[in-house]
Structure 1
Amino acid sequence: MPNSNGRSHRGHRGSRKAGRHELVSTSLQSAQHCLEDQDFGTAYAHYLLVLNLAPELKSDIRETFQFTLFKWAEELASLARIQDLFNCYEQALELFPNDEVICNSMGEHLFRMGFRDEAAGYFHKALKLNPDFADAKENFYRVANWLVERWHFIMLNDINRNLIYQKAIEKVVHSGCRTVLDIGAGTGILSMFAKKAGAPSVYACELSKTMYELACDVVAANNMEGKIKLLHMKSLDIEIPKHIPERVSLVVTETVDAGLFGEGIVESLIHAWEHLLLQPKPKNRDFGTEDYGQVIPAGAILFGMAVECKEIRRHHRVRIQEVACVHLAETVEFCSPIHASVNSEETIEPYTTEKLSRVPGGYMPLTEPFQVMTVDFNNLEELKSLATRKPCKISIPVTQEGMLDAIVVWFVLQLDDEHSLSTSPSEETCWEQAVYPVEGLPDYSVKPGDTVMMEVCCQDCYLRIQKISVLTSEYVMDTERENTLALGNEAELCSALAGLKTTSMESTEIALLNNVPYHECFNTAIGKVLSSLIPWKESQAMDVDGRGSQMNFEESQNKNTYSTHDPLYVLDVSEGFSILPIIAGKLGPIKAYSSVEKEQHQRALNIISEANHFPKDTLEFWLSHVEDENVVLQRPKSDKLWSIIILDVIETSGLIQQEVMEKAAISRCLLHSGGKIFPQYVVMYGMLVESQSLVLESAVQGTEPTLGFNIAPFINQFKVPVRVCLDLSTLPCMPLSKPAALLRLDLMHPYLNSSKREVKVQVCKSGQVTAIPFWYHIHLDDDIYLDTSSDSSHWKQAAVVLDKPILVQLGDELVLSIQHYKSSVSITVKQ
């Protein structure tokens, strides 16, 4: 009997095995049919079943499964089925836990949805699985800039800042302070200062998941694990005794930005005084230190100064009325988001930031430094009154003739009565300064004897400097002058203001609009292409270099010169606000399409178009013709092709735009015979330099700047090889070679491109090569190009920072290996 039972079980097992094999085979066939029908969801379900039933097939169908997963994920994302999308990836990673491609793709979806911390984890895992995986490397570098901002490296390398904070913390701990809370701990360096000084209980909170995990590693590496309690949360959410057992006697923090209040220090300290700190020391009472609470920093003094600065001006005020024969309508007022924030209901940071000591062209003080306000972080009532306090009026005499471009602000952080840190532009400091651009004045010129007036308040816990005006001995400018003029002609003024359309633009867009050479080059290059495409007799009506084109175009329209021919089609898909379609529309029988998305930008372009007497249908907005932004390069009618397609190749940060070569490939298929892509090709230039500044801004340099604490290996995991948004004209560096052409990207003739090349560079000065700054010549054709490093450029530059400096002598020759993959360029040096 046992034998017969055994045969029966084997028969059932064989039957089950045959049935499973048949199910696997059927599911594979069904999956293939579904793929052919582009039914990716059903195909994915079939592959999932196959892999669970027959895991031995993993290696055989891995690539097909990946393809199916990615296609199905795209559909789920477009349908906003986010939970289903992530469920699919979790299932896939259970089957392929060490698949770097799936990890990277999961990270890309997370990053697009704003989950940067989680995305970084997947990119990092993909790189650990395959350090040479180019897609993951590029993704990780981009997300690293979001997760661990570059100022962390600069600040940790600032030995003076670290030393002064350490001394202030030591002083209060040695005087009896027993419990410390570090708010916004970052890497945990201030917490470790407190523990090393002897504080019995140290707590630290950090909201960023990435920085919290980094701090955990740092604390453990410095033998303080279990001695410092780290909390992954906002200080506003800390409860006693749920998270920490007691009120603390010291809060230490450095949650301050260039404008002092922008990182929420006021809100967090109000909450700390009400819920987390012991009561402050009463005046004229001699309590033991352990019996009262206090804050480091104890307070701050804010200072300001009016300045002239061309660089700030060109990024915040449109200074031109006409460019490339296009008249900018008087009824359109362009302003930066900072200026627009004054009347906005949104909470927008009311200032930008600059390191004034490195602003191209420098700056000129127009007033003496003046005190803006003081704040006592150990006074709860004063902190509470900041947001409700009435605006304070300040009047400052002008001491130097010039153009009033901005009010710049810095502060002295008073850690205690003995230790302080200044962020003044005249100091060597890791901080930038806050910049309040001046906009909306009838006249920006000032001279000694004038008075700059402003109001200062702390609305929304931001330092706001507003209602900036100038009082002269002759009359009052700005709003006061306007009100005086309105008394005599109020109706006319109200009518003019009602017709004025304010258009908010990013500072880079304003700098682009001010970039006259950019528009003139495009005007000439577009004219050359159009003249080659328009029949000879009709081209007589055109002015190729753009001069007088408005008259000729209008005359040709009136005489119906072009009535027998279809118009030529021009598509501008460059980023942000662009008047290039209008420039093109003035050069001949053009149908110009703009890809701007914002309604206020479209409205401004329509007004400019009308002011330049365009026929109504000359300018159209391309995104209104397409439902999906991904098909932006398709034509609205299949029988029409583009004569010119304008692409953005270089980001304003100094990097190559993502997927630009893919867009160029599509564009080439959509061009009319004789049509062109602008730019036609790009040449990347670079040179060898020695720059200690770039080194300090890119990685923490050992334990010396962090006063013996081992932090560098952990935060340096997030260093990136390329430093962006540089101004080479003011970068502290010593050139060690002449500029050399490193790479050519041809958008019209891709067969000329090479993904890898080597360039020999001659050393012209002895020193240490620490970085290779690079920039571009953007060729609209063989004769016309734009230099992204020029004074008028709205582009910044970038630099590859070497892991280790290379010592070179005059006459040496280095070989640079340049690799281009998608939008990523890597440069390595061979000696």
Structure 2
Amino acid sequence: MTSAACSRMFQLQTDPLTGKSEWLVIEGEDDQLQTTPKSLLATTSYLDMLNDSLRNAAYRLAIDNTVTTPSHVLDIGAGTGLLSMMAARAMGLSDSNGISTSKGMVTACESYLPMVKLMREVLRANAMEGKIRLINKRSDELEVGVDIPSRADILVSEILDSELLGEGLIPTLQHAHDKLLVENPQTVPYRATTYGQLVECTYLREMHDLVHGEAEASDGIHLLPSGMPNLLAVKKQQFAMHCNAIKDEIKLLSEPFKVFEFDFWRRPDSFREADLHIKAKSDGTVHAIISWWLLQLDSEGTTFYSTGPNWIPYPSDVKELKTSFVSSGDWCDHWKQCVWFIPSSGLLVLKDKEVWLHAAHTETSISYDFKTSCNEKEDADLFLHTPDGQLFLSPERIALYGDSCWRELMLNAIKNAIHQKVDPLCLIADDSIFLAVSVAHLSKTSQVMPLFPGLGNKGMQYLQKASIANSYTMDRIEFLRRKELLSGLQGSPHRKIDLFIAEPFYYGNDNVLPWQNLRFWKERTLLDPVLSKDALIMPCRGLLKACAMYLPDLWKSRCCLKEIEGFDNSVVNTTLGACGGLPLTEDSPFLPYFIWQCGETKILSKTTTILEFDFSKPMSPCSGKTKVQFRESGMCHGFVLWIDYVMDKENNTVLSTGPDKRHWKQGVKLLNEPVEVGHKDLSSTEIEASFDPLNGELILRNAFLRHQR
């Protein structure tokens, strides 16, 4: 038993409908009375990673090639223990009585207590519990002579994200080489190489170039005032994205180029720079750099794994080995490509001309900067200057705010609302700066009260910067928290909220299910005492929509685990939120995804409305039942759900957030087993949904209806 065996862990859990956070207590790893709550791990990438058979095979091959003699193997970030078990087996630590048949040892280090508890179960299921020493600590907390008896000869690890460095690879390796490993250790992986490619793509431009979007919209709303093109921006960082999904929209402007190499077998530097001269392969405008990495897992160079997009062949300097070179041809969600956006509207390049790309990495990230002359660098630095009141938004949010169709729809709804009120008091119930600016601009007599639950004072600083360009003064803007708002307005019987509006959008709340954005409905309920009798609520209704879909890649990545490279992993299925092969008593979780990035997809049914949310009334339980008619034949892997927002009653303006829209994530409910649909025996299914306002959870049931012969 380790010193942490009887410890407790506190996990922060947030109620999506209230925004309130509470600390959930997770008992020590050896406490058999408490299991890990499903919600903690069901939305993580562990299951998807364990379902990546190509990744599993690559690690098994490399470990078998590396762990050939009795050694001390250290597994950092052990997760469910798969790599530790591979190393133990490779050394012959497989005696069924728990007695080592080798002088070697495996130490598994895992800091996340829920995963430690799960790994204990996996080890027990594979009769490996006595063969692997599991320590519930961060690797930089381990001490030789205290936690481990000696320095390790071999390091196995998989602390890699889509960018490579984001999970702390460099500081972890630095500490391991300084304190935990022998001199010149063996490692799996052996080396990682990052690559990049210059691309032109209108959609990628839209995800960071709001200046261009606003110019095209030309609707009088200026989210970016003149001279402040960076007031709303995406962060200077790489963003993980499934670039295969936009392959047909991408123009490749260069050949792939190597950026950095990281050797796991030696201590890495915290910071490096590289100047790259990239030759353009055609004329165009560089909107982004798409990047990926290639793992060499063993020192001999026989086993590789790539996260490159599917248009990238294996590198010319890597020998093709059909049994051990793993490309990213199979869709997986735990590792994607990365996108680095080029500032402004991009960089013009000419065929066969070189551009100078400066790359740098810190301990946790890689960045890029084009430099074609000293003057241009100064201009770039000017553009990238951070103004007061600057807000960083997600690329999808920037693309939405530059979408002329979305802006027109929202502005028409706002105009319709404010024309019905005289000197309205308008509450912006979410973090929408677009709504706050638009109402203040369009209604010269309105008083605007943004709640800004996520933005807070940063949102008010932004509104100050945008005020002159949008013809409003800050004396018409009042920022109050809900408690202050309630106490202030309840004490003033002649001052009530006339307009209660939301997009809805919550800052930093990008990975939630569609109905978890109904927080504004909860706010509307709590603020009911200070709403005027004829207050307009926008949106006024929400329609929960659904369709049946063919989702083979997503289903495969989330299906139940059985045996992985000879090890039973079935004990993790329920905790990790698996879908395929579940017992009838178990139910797979809803998961948020951009459906357009989920590999191969196909809509099999008509879109149907399951239930309606009436936002004009206080929040209450909702339920509905409907039949889904199949319009295509094929394998149904699950249902995709989203909310269409009815913005106003009069014009019935509807904002859809469905799977054909790229700006929003949808909710996915995968089936326990795929069902062949669309033939005359099975032409429809019945689905029933209920929404619980106490916890914001949606329950979905379905029954496939077969025609009687």
Q: TM-score range by the shorter chain?
A: 0.7 to 0.9
Which structure 1 segments of 5+ residues have no match? 1-89, 91-102, 129-139, 281-292, 341-349, 484-493, 535-566
1:740 aligns with 2:608: yes
Distance 1:499 1:262 in 2: 23
Distance 1:105 1:436 in 2: 31
Which residue, 498, 505, 510 being the options, matches 1:643? 498
Residue number in structure 2 paired with 1:716: 574
**Residues 160 and 450 (structure 1 numbering): CA distance in 2 closer, same or farther, change over 3 Å?**
same
Distance 1:629 1:222 in 2: 57
Residue number in structure 1 paired with 2:357: 454
**Residues 116 and 439 (structure 1 numbering): CA distance in 2 closer, same or farther, change over 3 Å?**
farther
How does 1:63-102 map onto structure 2 within 5 Å?
A: none
Secondary structure of the structure 1 residue equivalent to 2:159: coil
Distance 1:197 1:260 in 2: 27
Native 8 Å contact 2:621 2:692 kept in 1: no
Residue number in structure 2 paired with 1:372: 259
Q: CA deviation at 1:234?
A: 1.3
Secondary structure of the structure 2 residue equivalent to 1:267: helix
1:316 aligns with 2:208: yes
Native 8 Å contact 1:255 1:264 kept in 2: yes
Distance 1:727 1:632 in 2: 43
Native 8 Å contact 2:637 2:673 kept in 1: yes
Native 8 Å contact 1:187 1:212 kept in 2: yes
Letter in 2 for 1:647: A
Q: CA deviation at 1:749?
A: 4.6
**Residues 633 and 616 (structure 1 numbering): CA distance in 2 closer, same or farther, change over 3 Å?**
closer
**Residues 304 and 728 (structure 1 numbering): CA distance in 2 closer, same or farther, change over 3 Å?**
closer
| Per-residue deviation, residues 430-481 of structure 1 (Å, max 9, x unmatched) | 321222221246x54434244433222222x134223224x4xxx8873256
How does 1:125-204 map onto structure 2 within 5 Å?
A: 143-144=39-40, 147=41, 149-174=43-68, 176-199=69-92, 200-204=104-108
Letter in 2 for 1:428: G
Distance 1:796 1:574 in 2: 18
Secondary structure of the structure 2 residue equivalent to 1:593: strand
Native 8 Å contact 1:655 1:798 kept in 2: yes
Residue number in structure 2 paired with 1:820: 691
Which residue, 562, 579, 587 being the options, matches 2:443? 587
Which structure 2 segments of 5+ residues have no match? 1-7, 93-103, 311-327, 578-587, 705-709
Native 8 Å contact 2:641 2:667 kept in 1: yes
Q: CA deviation at 1:498?
A: 9.2
Native 8 Å contact 2:435 2:503 kept in 1: no
Please tell me whether Structure 1 or Structure 2 has the larger radius of gyration of its CA atoms: 1
How does 1:416-565 map onto structure 2 within 5 Å?
A: 416=298, 417=300, 418-426=302-310, 427-428=328-329, 430=332, 431-440=335-344, 444-459=347-362, 461-469=363-371, 471=372, 478-479=376-377, 501=388, 503-507=390-394, 508-534=396-422
Letter in 2 for 1:225: E
Which residue, 457, 474, 479 being the options, matches 1:622? 479
**Residues 590 and 119 (structure 1 numbering): CA distance in 2 closer, same or farther, change over 3 Å?**
farther
Residue number in structure 1 paired with 2:26: 118
Residue number in structure 2 paired with 1:758: 625
**Residues 686 and 241 (structure 1 numbering): CA distance in 2 closer, same or farther, change over 3 Å?**
same
Residue number in structure 1 paired with 2:162: 258
**Residues 505 and 361 (structure 1 numbering): CA distance in 2 closer, same or farther, change over 3 Å?**
farther
Residue number in structure 2 paired with 1:564: none
1:694 aligns with 2:561: no
Native 8 Å contact 1:407 1:435 kept in 2: yes
Native 8 Å contact 1:511 1:794 kept in 2: yes
1:804 aligns with 2:673: yes
Secondary structure of the structure 1 residue equivalent to 2:67: helix
Letter in 1 for 2:406: Y
| Per-residue deviation, residues 735-756 of structure 1 (Å, max 9, x unmatched) | 22111111211111569x8622
Distance 2:627 2:488 in 1: 39
| Per-residue deviation, residues 126-161 of structure 1 (Å, max 9, x unmatched) | 999xxxxxxxxxxx66x42xx465321121111111
**Residues 366 and 748 (structure 1 numbering): CA distance in 2 closer, same or farther, change over 3 Å?**
same
Q: CA RMSD in A?
A: 3.6
| Per-residue deviation, residues 167-207 of structure 1 (Å, max 9, x unmatched) | 11112223x24221111101100011111222531111001
Secondary structure of the structure 1 residue equivalent to 2:514: coil
Native 8 Å contact 1:150 1:697 kept in 2: no
Which residue, 610, 620, 630 being the options, matches 2:468? 610
Q: CA deviation at 1:276?
A: 2.2
Distance 1:760 1:106 in 2: 35
Native 8 Å contact 1:456 1:463 kept in 2: no
Give the alignment's TM-score, normalised by structure 2. Answer: 0.80
**Residues 446 and 598 (structure 1 numbering): CA distance in 2 closer, same or farther, change over 3 Å?**
farther
**Residues 633 and 829 (structure 1 numbering): CA distance in 2 closer, same or farther, change over 3 Å?**
farther
Distance 2:253 2:24 in 1: 43
Secondary structure of the structure 1 residue equivalent to 2:467: helix
Q: CA deviation at 1:807?
A: 3.6
Letter in 2 for 1:780: M
Residue number in structure 1 paired with 2:226: 330
Native 8 Å contact 1:117 1:209 kept in 2: no
**Residues 645 and 127 (structure 1 numbering): CA distance in 2 closer, same or farther, change over 3 Å?**
farther
**Larger relative contact order (CA 8 Å, sep ≥ 6):** 2
Native 8 Å contact 1:332 1:503 kept in 2: no
| Per-residue deviation, residues 687-728 of structure 1 (Å, max 9, x unmatched) | 11221222233344422xx12311133243231521203234
Residue number in structure 2 paired with 1:788: 657
Secondary structure of the structure 2 residue equivalent to 1:278: strand
**Residues 106 and 504 (structure 1 numbering): CA distance in 2 closer, same or farther, change over 3 Å?**
closer
1:393 aligns with 2:275: yes
Native 8 Å contact 2:231 2:387 kept in 1: no
Where is the helix percentage greater, Structure 1 or Structure 2? 1
**Residues 785 and 450 (structure 1 numbering): CA distance in 2 closer, same or farther, change over 3 Å?**
farther
Distance 2:114 2:404 in 1: 43
Where is the strand percentage greater, Structure 1 or Structure 2? 2
**Residues 172 and 479 (structure 1 numbering): CA distance in 2 closer, same or farther, change over 3 Å?**
closer
Residue number in structure 2 paired with 1:48: none
Distance 1:795 1:599 in 2: 26
| Per-residue deviation, residues 18-37 of structure 1 (Å, max 9, x unmatched) | xxxxxxxxxxxxxxxxxxxx
Letter in 1 for 2:376: D
How does 1:635-674 map onto structure 2 within 5 Å?
A: 637-649=492-504, 653-656=512-515, 657=517, 659-674=519-534
Which residue, 568, 578, 583 being the options, matches 2:434? 578
Which residue, 420, 424, 440 being the options, matches 1:568? 424
Percent of pairs with identical residues? 23
How does 1:769-788 map onto structure 2 within 5 Å?
A: 769-782=636-649, 783-788=652-657
Native 8 Å contact 2:238 2:340 kept in 1: yes
**Residues 731 and 163 (structure 1 numbering): CA distance in 2 closer, same or farther, change over 3 Å?**
closer
**Residues 667 and 202 (structure 1 numbering): CA distance in 2 closer, same or farther, change over 3 Å?**
same
Distance 2:248 2:668 in 1: 21
Q: CA deviation at 1:499?
A: 11
Which residue, 392, 397, 402 being the options, matches 2:284? 402
